[in-house]
Amino acid sequence: MNELLTNFVPEPERYELRAGPVHHFELARRDFFKLLGAGIAIFTVAKDAAALQESGRARRAPDETLPNDITSWLHVAEDGTVTAFTGKVEIGQNIRTSLAQSVADELRVPFESVRMVMGDTFLTPFDQGTFGSRTTPTMTPQLRRVASAARDLLVEQAAQRWNVSTDKLVAADAKVTDPASGKSLRYAQLTAGQSLARTLPDADPVTPPPQWTIAGKAVPKVDARAFVTGKHQYTTDLRPPNLLYGKVLRAPSFGASLTSVDISAAQQQTGVTVVRDGNFVAAAAPSERAADKALAAIHAEWKSDPQPSAAEIFTYLKQNAEPPSGERDKTEKGSVKDGLATAAHHLEETYNIAYIAHAPLEPRAAVAEWSDDKTKLTVWTGTQRPFGVRDELSDAFHLPHDHVRVIVPDTGAAYGGKHTGDAALEAARLARAANRPVKIVWTREEEFTWAYFRPAGVIEIKSGIAADGTLTAWEFHNYNSGSSGIATPYAVPNQLIQFHYVKSPLRQGSYRGLAATANHFARESHMDGLARAAQMDSLEFRLKNLADDRLRAVFQAAAKSFGWPRAKKQPGQGFGMGGGLEKGGYVATFAEVAVDPASGSVRVVRINTAFECGAIVNPDGLRHQVLGANIMGLGGALFEAINFENGHILNARFSRYRVPRFRDIPEIDVVLVDRKDIPSAGAGETPLVGLAPAIGNAICDATGTRLRNLPLAPNGIKA
Amino acid sequence: MSIALTVNKEQFSVFSDPDTPLLFVLRDELGLTGTKYGCGEGQCGACTVLLGDTPRRSCQLPVSAAAAKPITTIEGLEQDGQLHPVQQAFLDAGAFQCAYCTSGMIMSSVALLQHNPRPTPPEIVQSLQGNICRCGTHPRILDAVQHASVALRERAR
C-alpha cells in the first residue's frame, strides 16, 4: 500500500489550534482499578508520530504521573464488559458508535459489551481535540491497537492455563478457544480475580477492513433511546444541588473596554453574587430570571473604538494583509508567467467569502463546581477540546493540571465552533466567588455575537489554459479565510498558491470544512469559467486535467447518479458541479437549481454527492454526515452571512440570520464509495466543500451570471 | 406567586413570576430538561411543548398562560415503557445526529399528526418549518414523520 496513504495525518490548520497544549496524564494505574473494578487493563505506547501528535506529547509537564507517550487504554472487567477511553468527544458526528464498533471488532466481542468513556480529562488520555476530521484516521487505529493488545493478553492468559502455545488459540465471540482440544474460556473467566495492567507497544497490524465483522456495518447510534425520550443530559441540562445561574455583562460592542461600573444595587439583591474582575462583570443568582435582573441593575460605562464594518470588509482584508512570512503558506512550481504566456485563454477573478456563524442549537454552556477549599475545580462543558479548556482553566485560576477536571457530556453539536472554554471560564469565575456550583448558558444572541466566526476572505485567481483545455498556469491567493483545501488537485505545471494572513476585525476560528469551503468554491467556480472559455463540457474539462484516480472516481460516480450531462427543460433550470479532496476524503457534488425568472429567487432542486473516504466504518453514520454536510452547506452557500457595523453584530438572532429550514431542503442522493483497500479517513467536513461551487455553477448555467460571493444569493438574483 | 400546572398528567404548584417563560419553569423548577432552549424568540422550535393539543414555543409562553390547559413535554410521551409511535419512528429512522432539536421535532410532529393523521410531504414540511436542525437531519425526520403517520393509523384501527 502507498506509504502516503497509510501514514496520512491531516495537518491542523492555523485556525484549528490556538495554543499548543501540554500533555498530561492524571490517572494512576491504582486508581484505574479502583474506578473500574478488577480485570485487565491495557495501556498502549505510541510508536509513531501520528499517534503522538494526536494523543501524547514529547514534553512532560511537571505535574504528570505516568509516562507521557501512552496514547490509549482499555479495560476488560470481570464480567467481560469492555471500557475504552478516548479524549475525543461526541458532538453528533456519531463517533461514540463508530469507535465502539472498531473496539468490538478488534477485540472480538459483541458491540453491546463495549462502553466508550470520552472527553473526561481525569479518565481519558490526552487529546488535542475533536476537529480536523481526525478521529477516524487517527483515533480508530489507536483504539484498534489497544484492543488488539488486550486480545493478545487474553489469549496469552488462556495459553498459560492450558499450557499451549498462543498461536494455536483463536479469539472470537468474547472467548478464547483451543480448536485442538475444543476447550474455551470466556473473556470474563480470564479476567475474573485479576488486576493485571500491562503497557504494550502499539500492536500492529490490526484487522484489515475486508475482515471486519462489526465495523463496516450500519450499527445504530449508541444511547439513541435517551435522545428520543429527552433523557440525555447535555451540559445545559445539568442541575447539581445548590446550583446558581450565571449571566455575564457583555460589552456594547467589540473591542470596548470598561471605564466604570456600579455593582452595588445588584449586590443587594437576594441570593445574588456579583463579580467584577477587570473587564469581566457577571452575576450568579438562584434562577436565570434573577441573574438577568441582577445584570439589569448593574450600571456600566464602556469606551468603544471604531471598528471595521461588513460593507468594507473585503477591501479591509486585502489592504491589511501581513507581508508573506516564509514558505509555509506558499507553494510554487514552474513559472506562472511562462504558463500564462503560452495560454490560449486567460481568466482572472476575485471571490469574496463572508463571515458565518456555527449556530449549534445547544449554545455554549458550562457548569462549574469547586471543592470546598477552592483548590480543585470540576467543569462540565460542551467543547471540542476538553484538554484545551482544562489548560485555559488551569492558567486562569493558577491551578495545577491535575486539580482541574473537564468533563464533556455528549454535546448539542459544535461544527468547529466549540474549541474554546469561554463559558467554562465564566462559570468557574462565578462559582469561585459564590461558593456554589454555577451554570452559564449563553443566549442565542451571545452565541451569535461573542463566539467566533468562520473567517471571511478574499480569493484571487489568475489562470491560463491551452486551446485544447489543458491547464498551463494557476495563481491562487487566499486572504484570511485559511489554507485548508488551498492546493489544486488539478495538474498544472506552473502554479503559485499562497495564503495571506490578516488580523481579522471579528473573532474568528475553526468551522466545519473551514477554508476548504471557500477555496473549493473559488477554485471550482473558476474551473467552470475556464471550461466555458474552452467551450468544453465541465466534467470533461475537469477529467482532462485531473490525474488523481480517487477524485476522478467520485466525479464519475456523482455524474452517473445525477445523470450528467442533462438537457435543460425549462427556463431558469441549471446544472453544475464541484468537487475536490481534503482531509483524506474525496467528494464530488452535482446540483440542479431553479431560478425564478420573475422574482430571481433561487431554489436548489436536487443534490447528488459521491463521497469516498477509504474503508467505511459505519455506512449509516457516514451517509448521515454527508447529508448533514450538504444541508448545513446550503446555508453558507446561499444565504448565511454575519452582518456587522462598527463593532456590532446586526443579525444576532435566528429571525435575522437565516439558516436552512425544511422548505430549503432539496432531494439529496448520496453515493458512498467504499474502498476497503484504503485506511479510513474522516467524513465530518469534506462532504460539504463541493456544494457551494456546484450551486454557483448551476446558477451560472441557468442565468449566465457568474456569482463570486459567498453567500451566493441571500436575496435571490437581481435580474 | 403560586401557579398550578398540569404537566404530563401530574399536578404541580410552582412559585414563579407569572411572566416567566414556561420553558424555564419546566427545566429549572420541575427538572423536565428534555425541552430545550435554542433561541428564546420562538424561532427554532427546540422548546416546543403541547398545551392541550396545540404545539407552543415554551420560551414564548408565560407560565401563567400555561396554567389553563394540560401541558405535555417529551417526557410525557412514553407510556408504560413504550415509546410513542413518533418517538419510535425517529428511533427507527435514526432521525437525529446531535439530537438537541429532537424533542422539539418530535413534539411538533406529534401535534401535526393529532390534527392531520395523513399529512402530505409538503404539509409535514410546512408544519416543521419553524423547527431548526443544524446537523441536517431533515430528510430522515420527514421519513420518520411519514412512518409515524402510518404507525399511528394502524394503532388506531
Closest chain B C-alpha to A717 CA, distance in angstroms: 23
pLDDT of B32 higher than 80? yes
To 5 degrees, how large is the angle CA B38–CA B40–CA B41? 115
Give the C-alpha separation, A333 to A335, whole Å.
6
Task: Compute the distance between CA of residue A192 and CA of residue A119 in angstroms, rounded to an integer.
Answer: 28
In this structure, what C-alpha cell is assigned to residue B43? 424561532
pLDDT > 50? residue A396: yes
Place of cell 506558499: A330
Q: Is the ipTM of this complex over 0.85?
A: yes
Contact yes or no for A661 and B129 at CB 8 A: yes
Query: Measured between CB atoms, does A654 come within 8 Å of chain B?
Result: yes
Model confidence pLDDT, tens digit, residues A256-299: 999 999 999 999 999 999 999 999 999 999 999 999 999 999 99
Query: Residue A292, class by beta-carbon neighbours within 10 Å (0-12 exposed, 13-18 middle, 19+ buried)?
Result: middle
For position A70, what pLDDT does the model report? Answer: 65
A359-370: per-residue pLDDT in tens?
999 999 999 999
A447 touches chain B (CB under 8 A): no
**A267: number of Cβ within 10 Å:** 15
Cα of B157 to nearest chain A Cα, Å: 25
Question: What 3-state class would DSSP assign to A259?
Answer: strand
> What is the mean pLDDT of the segment spanning B98-114?
98
pLDDT at A202: 60
Burial class (CB in 10 A: 0-12, 13-18, 19+), A156: middle
Which residue stretches of A563-682 are H helix?
A: 619-638
Q: Quick one: closest CA in A to B17, which residue?
A: A289
d(CA A262, nearest CA chain B) in Å: 26
Residue A441 forms contact with B (CB below 8 Å): yes
Q: What is the pLDDT of residue A29?
A: 56
pLDDT at residue A511, rounded to an integer: 97
* pLDDT reading at A594 higher than 50: yes
CB-CB under 8 Å, A225 with B134: no
Q: What is the CA radius of gyration of chain A?
A: 27
Q: In the block, which residue shows the cell 479591509?
A: A316
Between chains, do B134 and A415 touch, taking CB under 8 Å as contact? yes
Q: CB A388: neighbour CB atoms within 10 A?
A: 23
CA distance A131 to A612: 19
Say what the pLDDT of residue A23 is. Answer: 30
Q: Which of B73, B136, B139 sits opposite A632 (nearest CB)?
A: B136
Query: Each residue of A15-29: pLDDT tens digit?
Result: 554 433 333 334 555
Residue pair A89/A130 in contact by the 8 Å Cβ criterion: yes
pLDDT band at A205 (very low <50, low <70, confident <90, very high): confident
Going by C-alpha positions, the residue among B26, B25, B36 that lies closest to residue A233 is: B36
A661 and B CB contact within 8 Å? yes
Tell which residue, A208, A197, A293, A106, has the closest CA to residue A615: A208
pLDDT per position as a tens digit, A123-160 = 898 889 999 999 999 899 989 989 998 999 999 999 99
**Shortest CA distance from B44: residue in chain A:** A654
Residue A681 near residue A133 (C-beta atoms within 8 A): yes
Question: 3-state DSSP call for residue A407?
Answer: strand
Separation CA A377–CA A364 (nearest Å): 19
pLDDT computed for residue A12 by the predictor:
54
| Best residue in A228, A362, A408 for a mutation probing chain B (most B CBs within 10 Å) | A228
Total H helices, total E strands in chain B: 5, 5
The full length of chain A comes to 719
Q: Which sign does the torsion angle of CA B101, B102, B103, B107 carry?
A: positive
Q: Report the mean per-residue pLDDT for chain A.
A: 91
pLDDT of the residue at B120: 98
The pLDDT assigned to A35 comes to: 76
pTM here is 0.95
Q: Which residues pair with A346 in a beta bridge?
A: A464
pLDDT level of residue A718 (50, 70, 90 thresholds): confident
Among the partner-chain residues A627, A628, A659, the one whose CB lies closest to the CB of B132 is A659
Contacts 24+ apart (CB under 8 A), A618-621: A618/A94, A618/A97, A618/A98, A618/A101, A618/A215, A618/A216, A618/A217, A618/A218, A618/A219, A619/A216, A619/A217, A619/A218, A619/A672, A619/A674, A620/A218, A620/A219, A620/A220, A620/B94, A621/A93, A621/A94, A621/A97, A621/A98, A621/A218, A621/A221
Report strand pairing: A345-353 vs A709-710.
parallel
What's the Cα-to-Cα distance from A151 to each of A148, A197, A216, rounded to whole Å?
Answer: 5, 13, 20
Of A91, A289, A660, the CB nearest to B98: A91
How would residue B74 be classed by pLDDT, with cut points 50, 70 and 90? very high
pLDDT at site A407: 98
Nearest to A289 among B20, B39, B124 (CB): B20
Q: What mean pLDDT do residues A486-502 have?
A: 97
Average pLDDT, chain B: 97
Amino acid symbol at B20: T
Question: For residue range A287-335, what is the model confidence (pLDDT) as tens digits?
Answer: 999 999 999 999 999 999 999 999 999 999 999 999 887 777 899 999 9
**Distance, CA of A265 to CA of A243 (rounded, Å):** 22
**A229, A231, A655 ranked by CB distance to B43: nearest:** A655
% chain B with pLDDT above 70: 100
A154: part of which helix (H) or strand (E)?
A: helix A140-162
C-alpha cell at A162: 492450558
**What pLDDT, in 10s, does the model give residues A36-88?**
788 888 877 765 544 544 544 433 344 433 444 566 789 999 999 999 999 99
Q: Would you call A242 an interface residue with chain B, using a CB distance cutoff of 8 Å?
A: no
Which of A95, A221, A227 is the best residue to mutate to test the B interface, defined by the most B CB atoms within 10 Å of its own CB? A227
The pLDDT-based confidence of A9 (bands split at 50, 70, 90) is: very low
Task: Verify whether the Cβ–Cβ distance B96 to A236 is below 8 Å.
Answer: no
- DSSP-assigned letters across all residues of A479-535: ESS-STT-S-SB--SSEEEEEE-B--SS-B---TTTHHHHHHHHHHHHHHHHHHHTT
Alpha-carbon distance of A400 to A383, in angstroms, equals: 20
Inter-CA distances, A144 with A55, A86, A670, Å: 14, 12, 28
User: What SS3 class is residue A265?
Assistant: helix
